[in-house]
């Protein structure tokens, strides 16, 4: 909301309310007229809170501001809202969240690296065609063989340092919960008004007396960060050594899966490290149920366990993907349901 930042603090809430009463009806009319989505952004939490409250009050549509959501989508939205308010949620996001920033998918990243080798005369187009028939980890390993580990990771930094953060980065941060990502980029960090503590490197800050008083967000970067090129995980060797070098990172993910509802966005669910953490959580509950000596204890364990480990948001509906993950996760497609 441009121009509202210098309002007298004593009149801030009322002034913001007046601004919102003028602004939101205009946005609703534009949305109806042009059939496009609009995002109203604010860097001030008070204005954001006012808009959240008044969005429904000022909505001109009888079905409310979320009329386009199916009953199933609305049910999951309400459930996730309750979990967030109870501070019982964590977010996990992958490359899909950064694609609209101009950053590549995993295969797209490998394609760019291969093209660099073609321009350097180390690969031919035919080599690249053959390479793309292999798994992503094997492709990355072959690129490392031609580039060298240091140059490979520096190239990853250069490719994933581009772009601007999107509303998705900002909205995930606005939940103000622990976040976990496989992304190397720093777009999530850039999008936040609050200080972000990146784990594992900045973990000592969490024990600092000063930082305990700071309003910060925790971000677990499972596969490294562009600010620390050596930390980047990309090749098969990186994955094979992950348990030796970064087992604690898997532990942080497993803890979130056990204790919280994990909201997963922009992630294909094909990463082996994530699969290992999910399977470990399955085993914990299976062992507990096997050891339960009475039906009462069995019932208590079942009640204590979250019904699902989390919710996977997908762009399109895929019945086989849903079947694969329905045991452990709610699967919610963002597209309109038939």
Tokens of 332: 């919610």
Q: What is the 3-state secondary structure (H, E, C) of 279-298?
A: HHHHHHHHHHHHHCCCHHHH
Give residue 211's pLDDT: 53
Tokens of 241: 């050594």
Q: Count the alpha carbons within 13 Å of 119 in the hemisphere toward its beta carbon.
A: 6
Q: How far apart are CA 92 and CA 265, in angstroms?
A: 6
Which among 135, 193, 163 has a CA at the least distance from the CA of 5? Answer: 193
Give residue 300's pLDDT: 57
In the chain, CATH 3.40.50.1220 covers 71-101+163-335
Q: How far apart are CA 326 and CA 337, in angstroms?
A: 17
The CA–CA distances, whole Å, from 24 to 55, 187, 231, 245 equal 7, 28, 44, 51
Give residue 334's pLDDT: 87
Measured distance between the N- and C-terminal CA atoms of the chain, rounded to whole angstroms: 37
- DSSP-derived 3-state class of residue 312: strand
What CATH number belongs to 71-101+163-335?
3.40.50.1220
One-character DSSP codes across 76-129 = HHHHHHHHHHTT-EEEEE-GGGTGGGT---HHHHHHHHHHHHHHTTS--HHHHH
Q: How far apart are CA 43 and CA 50, in angstroms?
A: 13
Q: How far apart are CA 132 and CA 142, in angstroms?
A: 11
- DSSP-derived 3-state class of residue 55: helix
The sign of the torsion formed by the CA atoms of 163, 187, 330, 62 equals: negative
Q: What is the pLDDT of residues 7-62, one digit of tens each?
A: 545 554 566 677 788 889 999 999 999 988 888 877 777 777 888 888 888 999 99
Q: What is the pLDDT of residues 64-77, one digit of tens each?
A: 988 889 999 999 99
Residue with the two structure tokens 């992630």: 267
Contact status, residue 51 vs residue 40, Cβ threshold 8 Å:
yes
Residue with the two structure tokens 């603090």: 9
Give residue 235's pLDDT: 97
Residue spans of the chain under pLDDT 50: 8, 12
Q: Which residues of 257-268 are buried (b: 16+ CB within 10 A; e: fewer)?
A: bbebbbbbbbbb
């Amino acid at each position: 909301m441009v121009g509202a930042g210098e309002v007298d603090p004593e009149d801030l809430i009322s002034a913001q309310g007046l601004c919102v009463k003028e602004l939101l009806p205009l946005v609703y009319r534009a949305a109806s007229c042009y059939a496009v989505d609009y995002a109203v952004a604010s860097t001030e939490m008070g204005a954001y809170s006012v808009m959240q409250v008044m969005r429904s009050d000022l909505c001109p549509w009888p079905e409310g501001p979320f009329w386009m959501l199916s009953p199933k989508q609305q049910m999951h939205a309400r459930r996730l809202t309750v979990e967030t308010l109870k501070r019982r949620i964590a977010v996990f996001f992958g490359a899909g969240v950064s694609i609209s920033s101009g950053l590549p998918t995993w295969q797209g990243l490998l394609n760019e690296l291969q093209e660099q080798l073609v321009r350097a005369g180390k690969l031919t187009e035919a080599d690249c065609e053959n390479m793309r028939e292999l798994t992503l980890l094997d492709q990355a390993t072959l690129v490392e063989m031609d580039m060298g580990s240091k140059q490979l990771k520096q190239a990853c930094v250069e490719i994933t340092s581009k772009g601007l953060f999107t509303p998705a980065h900002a909205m995930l941060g606005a939940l103000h919960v622990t976040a976990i990502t496989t992304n190397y980029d720093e777009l999530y960090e850039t999008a936040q008004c609050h200080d972000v503590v990146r784990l594992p490197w900045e973990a000592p800050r969490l024990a600092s007396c000063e930082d305990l008083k700071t309003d910060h967000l925790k971000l677990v970067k499972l596969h490294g960060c562009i600010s620390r090129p050596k930390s980047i995980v990309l090749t098969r060797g990186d994955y094979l050594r992950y348990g030796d070098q970064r087992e604690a990172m898997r532990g942080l993910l497993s803890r979130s899966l056990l204790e919280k509802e994990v909201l997963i966005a922009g992630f294909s669910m094909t990463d082996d490290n994530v699969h290992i953490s999910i399977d470990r959580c399955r085993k914990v509950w299976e062992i507990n149920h096997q050891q339960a000596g009475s039906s009462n204890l069995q019932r208590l364990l079942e009640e204590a366990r979250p019904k699902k480990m989390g919710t996977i948001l997908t762009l399109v509906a895929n019945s086989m993907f849903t079947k694969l993950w329905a045991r452990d996760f709610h699967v919610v497609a963002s597209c309109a349901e038939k």
